[in-house]
Amino acid sequence: MKAANVNLSPENKELIVQTEQFIKDALSDAEAGHDWWHIQRVYNNAKLILETEEADRFVVELAVLLHDIADSKFNDGDEEIGPQKAGVFLRSIQVKESTIEHVQQIIRNMSFRTGLGIVNFHSHELDIVQDADRLDAVGAIGIARAFTYGGFKNREIYNPEIPPSLNMSKEEYKNSNGPSINHFYEKLLLLKDQMNTETGRKIACERHSFMETYLEQFKSEWNGES
């Protein structure tokens, strides 16, 4: 059923424009898998999902734009710096406090890593932002991002002597440093079954199939079979 999404007010549209510019500047020299272009792709994913989901569009758009303002992976594992920075910025442009708190909770709870522990917050807006972000971790873009981050961390592409670590705890996942190919089995191939929305699931299934085909070809080439 088509959702009855309410268009943003002129005031909120202006706040979105300010947020876009802020995050472009903030991520101007970010790692390529978590830069402004990642934000833009996730933003487009969220708008697509919003076509069939009822939600607070303003909250979704703000959370998407700010979700990687300070990713804990690049901040010594600090999981509060992102929500804090988002809050400081949103208060500076006079967003109401209830909206700020919702956006902060989404940023705090949306990562795959967080889902490996106990999650104490839920909203449909979180579902949408989470799906939009996870879609950028699968398919052709997901493959590119996996190897980009692996290179950034100086990880091996593949090592057949190091098997993937399955069923990791939150801390184990956080400290994992295995080859990039392992990341497919430890996270990327799991995302299809963790999507929250119908649109997210449909797109994820298509991208999942592409990754499976890629991995088959990768292993074939690695083993000198093709």
CATH number at residue 100: 1.10.3210.50
Domain count, the chain: 1
pLDDT, tens digit, 9 for 90 and up, residues 185-219: 999 999 999 999 999 999 999 999 999 999 999 99
- Name the least confident of 43-57, 68-82, 166-180: 68-82
Q: Which residues contact 109 (CB under 8 A, 6 or more apart)?
A: 119, 120, 121, 122, 126
For residue 1, being part of any structural domain is answered with no
Q: Is residue 4 situated within a structural domain?
A: no
Q: How confident is the model at residue 88 (pLDDT cuts 50, 70, 90)?
A: very high
- CA-derived radius of gyration, the chain: 18
The residue range of the domain holding 204 is 10-222
pLDDT, position 31: 83
What is d(CA 50, CA 41) in angstroms, rounded to the nearest whole number?
14
Pick 80 or 156 by higher pLDDT: 156
Contact 90, 100 (CB under 8 A): yes
Any domain includes 5: no
Q: Work out the mean pLDDT of the chain and round it to a whole number.
A: 91
Distance CA 159, CA 142 (A): 20
Residue percentage of the chain with pLDDT more than 90: 77
DSSP annotation of 52: S
Tell me if 29 is assigned to some domain. yes
DSSP helix/strand/coil, 44? helix
- Answer yes or no: is 170 within a domain: yes
Q: In angstroms, rounded to a whole number, what is the distance separating the alpha carbons of residues 188 and 190? A: 5
Q: What predicted TM-score, i.e. pTM, was given to this entire model?
A: 0.89
Distance CA 199, CA 111 (A): 19
CA–CA distance, 32 with 195 (Å, rounded to integer): 24
3-state SS, residue 169: coil
CA–CA gap between residue 10 and residue 226 (Å, rounded): 57
